[in-house]
Amino acid sequence: MAQHRYFIQTFGCQMNKNDSERIESIFSTMDFVETQKPEEADVILLNSCSVRQKAEDRIYGITRNLAKLKEKNPDLIVCVTGCMPGRDKDGKMGEKLDSVDLFFPTHDMVHLPKWLGELNPKLRQMEDLEKDYLALRPTLKKTYQAFVTLQTGCNHFCTYCVVPFSRGLEKNRPLQQILEEVRELAQNGCVEVTLLGQIVNHYIAPDPQYFSKSNIYNTSDFAKLLWEIHQIKGIERIHWTAPHPIFMTEEVIDALTLPKQINFLHLPVQSGNTQILQKMNRRHDRDFYLETVKKIRQKKPNIALATDIIVGFCGETSAQFEDTVSLYKECDFDISYNAQYSSRSGTLATKIFKDDVSHKEKKRRWWVLQELMEDIVLEKNQQYLNTTVQVLVENEEAGWCTGNSSEMKCVRFKGDASLVGTIVPVSIYKAGMWMLWGRKA
Ligand code: SF4
């Protein structure tokens, strides 16, 4: 009997990517194989993102095109999961997707085998796999690098954000389950883990009895977890995203100095103006953020910092935007992920504020930040000239290896495929805006 095939497409953040890896493990339990061609698939699954309207519009567009494929292959099953079904409380989004057979929130992926079997009895018949989807082991494309989800959902309700609606309230994974997963990864050759959470540094262990007695931290479960992961042999680099400034406590900042911690932190600020931060319900002001960055740099002077910024939030004046520009310079970020504010239905900002900054002005502000970032990043990258960085090699092509340094700088150097998955010291001789070139040291 020919093997059934699935095609999966993932949109949005690393959390969605990690969820897709879990869905892939469900498909392999059902004896499916992956195909890169949708027209060959028995099941097409889209893991959607709702962060901006454009991301949702893409799903509407793709599913409209899939209707044609379904005409050719009436057995084809189309599924949409992720943020869109998660926030579709009144069912209106699902109604608009008529070529979609299964429209389910992420946590319902455990029912996928049963539902697919009901839709097509020729598929392997199976019951639900687990009660909790986070207990499913993700299928990894690379053995040396893995995402590990610590929590899903969020209780913070920033006024612009759909996450508390699409993913629900914060739910932390049991510590024991996380540590088991990381130990298993290390045994299978994983050297770098990226810990994921909506507010990753707010992790609270539901089973704190599994922390070691010798743990050096007392008050922050997240810092304690970092310390526990440091004890796991084989793990060489620890990366986490995304923290919230208000939970960058003394202990979490101290944990940045643990030896396996990468020399990079992504700390979203969203705006440099206190009134805008209040309207966003970020729960801190400009000075608090600057003070936090100062404390981080005191502990780890050369850390590379990244941030997220939204320009053109409701009512943002030019002067308020200039506060973001000055904060950017003061923090001396290495990189920032800039977004033009996009009103999202269901959020508080959409209900109570006017999206009144023109599209043209949002675009202008976005470019101001983008150009500032490009100027700073080039200058910062030049500081790596004649220094040695540690690169986790992810790819080799035509005798050139590529990977990220501990500062999350993309580095290229001459080397062979045997280096993929290993950490190599590389001395830098050339610096561009988005790439450093070096030689194996
Ligand atoms: S902290 Fe704010 S921006 Fe981050 S996920 Fe929660 S609500 Fe969204």
- Asked if 305 contacts 270 with a C-beta cutoff of 8 angstroms, the reply is no
**Of 100, 133, 166, which closes a domain?**
133
pLDDT of 355 over the 80 cut:
yes
pLDDT value of position 1: 59
Residue 270 DSSP label:
B
pLDDT of 122 over the 90 cut:
no
- State whether 374 and 247 are in the same domain: yes
- What is the per-residue DSSP string for 41-106? -SEEEEEE--SSHHHHHHHHHHHHHHHHHHHH-TT-EEEEEEHHHHH-TTSHHHHH-TT-SEE--G
- State whether 231 and 369 are in the same domain: yes
- State whether 96 and 199 are in the same domain: no
d(CA 259, CA 24): 33
**Distant-in-sequence, close-in-space partners of 214: CB < 8 Å, separation ≥ 6:** none
Residue 156 Cβ < 6 Å to ligand 1: yes
pLDDT value of position 125: 78
- State whether 376 and 418 are in the same domain: no
Q: What is the mean pLDDT of the chain?
A: 96
pLDDT value of position 98: 85
CA atoms within 13 A on the CB side of 276: 23
- State whether 371 and 271 are in the same domain: yes
Choose among 71, 103, 101, 63: nearest CA to 87: 103
- State whether 156 and 122 are in the same domain: no
Instruction: Report the atom number in ligand 1 closest to the C-alpha of 198.
Output: 5
- State whether 275 and 309 are in the same domain: yes
- State whether 245 and 370 are in the same domain: yes
Long-range contacts of 176-183 (CB under 8 A, 24+ apart): 176/207, 176/210, 177/134, 177/135, 178/148, 178/150, 178/225, 179/210, 179/228, 179/229, 179/232, 181/137, 181/148, 182/148, 182/229, 182/232, 182/235, 183/232
- What is the average pLDDT across 122-130? 80
pLDDT value of position 282: 98
Residue 196 Cβ < 6 Å to ligand 1: no
Dump pLDDT digits (tens) for 356-367: 999 999 999 999
pLDDT value of position 251: 98
Instruction: Report the atom number in ligand 1 closest to the C-alpha of 199.
Output: 1
How many structural domains comprise the chain?
A: 3
Instruction: Report the atom number in ligand 1 closest to the C-alpha of 242.
Output: 4
Structure tokens, 426: 């590389």
pTM of the model: 0.95
d(CA 184, CA 177): 11
- What is the average pLDDT across 178-194? 98
- State whether 241 and 257 are in the same domain: yes
CA atoms within 13 A on the CB side of 210: 15
Distance 362 CA to ligand 1 centre (A): 21
Indicate which CATH number applies to the domain containing 26. 3.40.50.12160
- What is the average pLDDT across 393-401? 98
d(CA 70, CA 91): 23
* Residue 16 belongs to domain spanning: 5-133
**Of 133, 156, 172, which closes a domain?**
133
pLDDT value of position 303: 97
- State whether 305 and 393 are in the same domain: no
Dump pLDDT digits (tens) for 215-273: 999 999 999 999 999 999 999 999 999 999 999 999 999 999 999 999 999 999 999 99
Residue 269 Cβ < 6 Å to ligand 1: no
Indicate which CATH number applies to the domain containing 429. 2.40.50.140
- State whether 105 and 151 are in the same domain: no
- What is the average pLDDT across 32-38? 96
CA 55 to chain centre: 15
Nearest CA to ligand 1 atom 1: 156
Dump pLDDT digits (tens) for 49-96: 999 888 999 999 999 999 999 999 999 999 999 999 999 988 999 999
Written in H, E and C, the secondary structure of 104-124 is: CCHHHHHHHHHHHHHHCCCCC
- State whether 212 and 227 are in the same domain: yes
Indicate which CATH number applies to the domain containing 351. 3.80.30.20
Choose among 177, 181, 174: nearest CA to 146: 181
- What is the average pLDDT across 315-340? 97
Residue 158 Cβ < 6 Å to ligand 1: yes
Instruction: Report the atom number in ligand 1 closest to the C-alpha of 162.
Output: 8
User: How would you class 381 by CB atoms within 10 Å of its CB: exposed for 0-12, middle for 13-18, buried for 19 or more?
Assistant: buried
Distance 310 CA to ligand 1 centre (A): 13
Residue 162 Cβ < 6 Å to ligand 1: no
d(CA 435, CA 420): 18
